[in-house]
Amino acid sequence: MCGIVGYIGPREAIEYLITGLRRLEYRGYDSSGVALLTSERHLTIRKSAGRIDRLEAILGGIPAASVGIGHTRWATHGAPSDINAHPHLGGDGEVAVVHNGVIENFQSLKRRLESDGYKFCSATDTEVIAHLVASCLKLQPPVEDMAAVQYRPLVAVVQAALSQLQGTYGLTVIFRDWPEVLIVARLGSPIVLGVGDGENFIASDASPLAGYTDKIVYLADHEMAVLTADSMRVYHRDAGHVDLQIHTLELKAGDMDMGSYDHYMLKEIFEQPESIENAMRGRLDFDAATAKFGGLNLTPQQLRSMRRIVMTACGTSWHAGMVGEYVFESLARMPVEVEYASELRYKNPPLDDHTLIFALTQSGETADTLAALREMKRKGHPVLGICNVVGSTIAQESDGGVYLRAGPEIGVASTKAFSSQCTVLAMLALYFGRLRHLSFSAGARIIHQLQELPDKVRQALQCSDKVKEVAAKYAHCNNFLYLGRQFNFPTALEGALKLKEISYIHAEGYPAAEMKHGPIALVDKHTPSVFLMPHGQTYDKVMSNVEEIKARGGPVIAIVCEGDREVGRLADDMIEIPAVEEFLQPIITVIPLQLLAYYIAVARGCDIDKPRNLAKSVTVE
């Protein structure tokens, strides 16, 4: 949640700040703001509730400044408003802070600071940090030349303030009286530093840095960075100075463009053939009829000894994990459980020494998934991450794992990450199956089916015009049921989630056979049922469920294989998709569901890429 940017160097800071905030707006769009600091020690704050456009409209007349910080907010403490927007000032305006995360003990700190005479303007936890830094600054003895001592007194000030905080933070601090320095710190919320030529950059993730620099540094938990225009120093809370580990940023500025599409979500839906190809590139071993992965960091012998798998995730990634459960149990014959990370982090499940954990996340920063990962590692279980963002916290803290290679996903409602996760899980199931019982010929057949998958997705995307017609027909409805069986039950859950996320329509996903155990009471002429029924072992059973809905006057939208005429005699609307093996069906059947959610949301005038109350990267509990 929330986005942070910062700049120090020769150019006007505001240009990078606004560009960066626009690229980070998917992380939070309740309000935004900037703080600009001139070499004459003039500190200017501009902030506004609402989107970046509202902030940009009030930037006229600001002085030129080569140092600045910015923030786009997803509200945790305090309603979205001008006064609660970041940056926040500390003391008498000698400190400005932007912050991502949650300070759990802010109320007790606030009471103490108020008793010391500090005046609070907002309802946020972040203002506590600003005043706390200002209070620690007052205790710092005067230093004539901060640069000569590498700004260590300011580092000590920030460290003293942070030592009193309980919770998570990614934050940036500027000091009115030292306009030549920025200080950045991280605990639980991501911070990426960009290394330029006579300039340095700060961002919550790498997207704002594209086009400005290709050299980046990932700040780790308990680390702090001191940035000037010409230098960057990183310190660990306990270990002192840390050598810079500079990585190459592969992301290009053009990767963040919307292109000819009306929304990022639609662009990302249509990028899925390429993202699936990227997920498979170099990972299919034809000679051994298996998959291969370079980053699992566990030997085949160690993996073969695993008797049980637990997958943990949140939201869309949890649905992908459920698909993985079906695929692993089918291909690898291994027992799999899928746990909500928010629940697993507080559970004490009886897991034996031969249990392997998979942590699934698009961003690699999801707070609950990270906490579950750490808890499982603490108990001695190997944890493999499946994520999309190189250098993310989960990528760094996992024992090994697999990158999705899906490219940037800007739309808040995840689409291509789901299909990429399902693809990676299918390859992992093939790999584990070949380690255990799966024959060479079966492995070769699966590889052939995987190879055909990108073209099958391209064919599925051709249903777009038909889905748009169906969406127009049902956009007025306020309740939907999504029904599927076996591999397509998780896809039903994902389809319902997409509709809820971006169109604000109530929708529920169920195994189709469970419909008569309660949900059928919801069926009426105003409640469409979306059936996922490509050919497979439960096709006839699902057909019976369709009959039951129609007998009660409910409209039926059926997702079927091309050429299926059986369903036509019952369904009000049919959307055809290409036939694939059952273990790959979720990757195909999700395409019309993503498009249905998209076109219904468009018809209802919703904000597709920035749905209300949501943000992309959930870094708070």
Mean pLDDT of 526-536: 93
| pLDDT, position 620 | 62
| pLDDT, position 89 | 96
| pLDDT, position 240 | 85
Mean pLDDT of 106-133: 94
Per the prediction, the chain carries an average pLDDT of 93
Tokens 């000819």 label which residue? 260
Catalytic residue among 47, 267, 416, 616: 616
| pLDDT, position 617 | 65
Nearest C-alpha neighbor of 9 from the set 196, 213, 183, 229: 229
Tokens of residue 20, six digits: 């960066």
| pLDDT, position 551 | 85
2 is an active site residue:
yes
User: Is pLDDT at 619 greater than 70 in this prediction?
Assistant: no
544-562 pLDDT, tens digit per residue, is: 888 888 888 889 999 999 9
H or E, element range at 19:
helix 13-24
Q: Give the separation between CA 245 and CA 216, rounded to whole angstroms.
A: 8
| pLDDT, position 60 | 87
Alpha helices in 65-207 (DSSP H): 106-115, 126-138, 152-162
Q: Are strands 232-236 and 240-242 parallel, antiparallel or unpaired?
A: antiparallel
Q: Give the separation between CA 3 and CA 26, rounded to whole angstroms.
A: 8
444-491 pLDDT, tens digit per residue, is: 999 999 999 999 999 999 999 999 999 999 999 999 999 999 999 999
Mean pLDDT of 355-382: 93
CA within 13 Å, CB half, 226:
25
Q: Give the separation between CA 369 and CA 436, rounded to whole angstroms.
A: 29
616 is an active site residue:
yes
pLDDT tier at 109, thresholds 50, 70, 90: very high
Beta bridge partners of 558: 531, 574
Q: Give the separation between CA 218 and CA 353, rounded to whole angstroms.
A: 33
CA within 13 Å, CB half, 513:
7
Q: Give the separation between CA 35 and CA 98, rounded to whole angstroms.
A: 9
Tokens 């609402």 label which residue? 50
Q: Give the separation between CA 102 and CA 168, rounded to whole angstroms.
A: 5
pLDDT tier at 534, thresholds 50, 70, 90: very high
More confident residue, 335 or 519: 335
Nearest C-alpha neighbor of 411 from the set 248, 272, 219, 604: 272
Helices and strands (H, E) in the chain, number of each type: 18, 27
H or E, element range at 416:
helix 416-436
Q: Give the separation between CA 298 and CA 293, rounded to whole angstroms.
A: 10
pLDDT tier at 203, thresholds 50, 70, 90: very high
Catalytic residue among 2, 314, 387, 463: 2
Q: Do the beta carbons of residue 451 and residue 427 sit within 8 Å?
A: no
Domains of the chain: 3-255 (3.60.20.10), 264-603 (3.40.50.10490)
